[in-house]
Amino acid sequence: PKLQLFHFPLSPPCPLSHTGWTGPPRSFTPQHNFKPSFHRISTPESFPMTQNASIVSSVSQQNLEKVRARMNLKRKGMEFVELYQNEMGHIITKEAESVHHAKRKPNIPEKWNKHLENENDCQLTLTTDIVMHWITTRPSKHVQKKRKVILLFCWNIIKLVAPDATLNIYGSVASGLDDPDSDIDVGISLGDDESISSNELGDELLRSIADIFTLLKDAGTIRVVSTLRARVPIITVHELLSHLQIDLSLRSADLKLKIFKEYMRVDERVVPILKILKHWGKQRDICNAYAGYINSFGYACLGIAYLQTESPPILPNLQRSHADHIMSASEFEGFGRNNHMSIGELLHGFFEKMCHFDYENLSVSILHEPPYLPKEVDKLGDSNISDHSFVIVDPFEPSINFSRHVRKATLKVIKEEFARALECINKGHGLEILCAKKSRAV
């Protein structure tokens, strides 16, 4: 698009009551030395009109180049928007055409049959519900394709301002603990520069990326929310066609992802247990750090700690108190085979453990062995923003309490939910009641 130069008008081209300007005075006579210029450089559709209507004087070459560069970025970005919209529309159409197959009986992998046919399982109904929840909530091939399309789109947009950028997926999508509607956590890295997240270059990169995504809001299918002043700055991209959400941050290798994957490889019961804990927490509205509760990573740590302390243990300690080291699951093949508890029985044991946990004096740390340690608040940071009512130690930064947002009032709610869950299981209720969505009014 051509850059439009707005000259001083002799009469207003459109109503400007919102600016307070009603047009030039009747006696106005243009001066021979009048030269058009800009009050502010912007895209043509957003040129400001000031009260005195002086959309003024000469544009410096430097500013003009900035405008052209900005418009060029928007043009290229809109090209990528059109490509992704076409591809996303095609996938959504195919998904709608195949909806009549959705009620088919789910395929149960052979390895899960032994869990569903165990006559000695005191919690067979619950075990069956958990395994079927795991199987039926795996993202479909259509969801996987949608994710690939939006990730490719984001990558192309980011490359407009950082050609060397690479994207690293982490979180639940990467670990396999995701649902079809799970957010996609993406880390941006520049080559081998691992320090970018903590320097001014990283801040400038995120601001530039947020700026170009904002330029594309006219497409109508992208909404961007930036929280660049947070402890971990994030750009959230809401894709309105597929209702997918991508959280962009500056991260490279993710050790949390690695340790989860290793723990899940040790014993097949770990995956459905961690998945159902996350699902239960979200359904009962207590899986939200911003609201003063535990986040999904915290619940995973609680689940791993419990499985490490069962008798006999199902999981080993893969760090042995070394925050920068993770042992391979292949070194512990068959580690939990002597524990014959079912998935349902393990979930029951978890809630029983948390109902009797000493929150006042103990902390949870899967970094250490055993994982339940005396609470040492003086060794934790963030004491100015947390009373450390509940302590879940970060396995890679032991001075950080992952549940630092939990307060006495929200801890009381969490304890009540643990007690309710235990009561549901003791009464023989299945997953439908155990994980019933909590009303906001409750």
Residue pLDDT, tens place only, 45-79: 443 444 433 443 444 666 777 778 888 888 898 99
Q: Where are the alpha helices (DSSP H) in 216-295?
A: 255-266, 270-283
Instruction: Give CA–CA dist 367/256, Å, rounded.
Output: 12
Q: How many residues does the chain have?
A: 442
Instruction: Give CA–CA dist 50/67, Å, rounded.
Output: 20
CA distances to 142, 185, 187, 254, 307 from 168, in Å:
21, 8, 5, 9, 29
Q: What is the pLDDT along the chain (442 residues), one digit of tens a residue?
A: 333 333 333 333 333 333 333 333 333 333 333 333 333 333 344 434 444 334 434 446 667 777 788 888 888 989 999 999 999 999 999 888 876 555 556 777 788 888 888 877 889 999 999 999 999 999 999 999 999 999 999 999 999 988 888 899 998 999 999 999 999 999 998 765 555 555 677 788 899 999 999 889 888 899 999 988 877 889 999 999 999 999 999 876 678 889 999 999 999 999 999 999 999 999 999 999 989 999 999 999 999 999 999 999 999 999 988 888 899 999 999 999 999 999 999 999 999 999 999 999 999 999 999 999 999 877 777 655 567 899 999 999 898 898 988 999 999 999 999 999 999 999 999 999 999 998 754 3
Q: Token pair of 55, please?
A: 């959309």
User: Long-range contacts: 118-123, Cβ < 8 Å, 24+?
Assistant: 118/342, 120/340, 121/342, 121/344, 121/345, 122/342, 122/344, 122/345, 123/342, 123/343, 123/344, 123/345, 123/347, 123/348, 123/425
Q: Token pair of 29, please?
A: 């006579």
With tokens 């009549």, the residue in question is 100
Q: Token pair of 403, please?
A: 């549940």
Which of 365, 385, 291, 352 is CA-nearest to residue 322? 365
Query: What is the identity of the amino acid at 320?
Result: R
Which of 371, 213, 435, 401 is CA-nearest to residue 298? 401
Residue pLDDT, tens place only, 317-363: 999 888 888 999 999 999 999 999 999 999 999 999 999 999 999 99
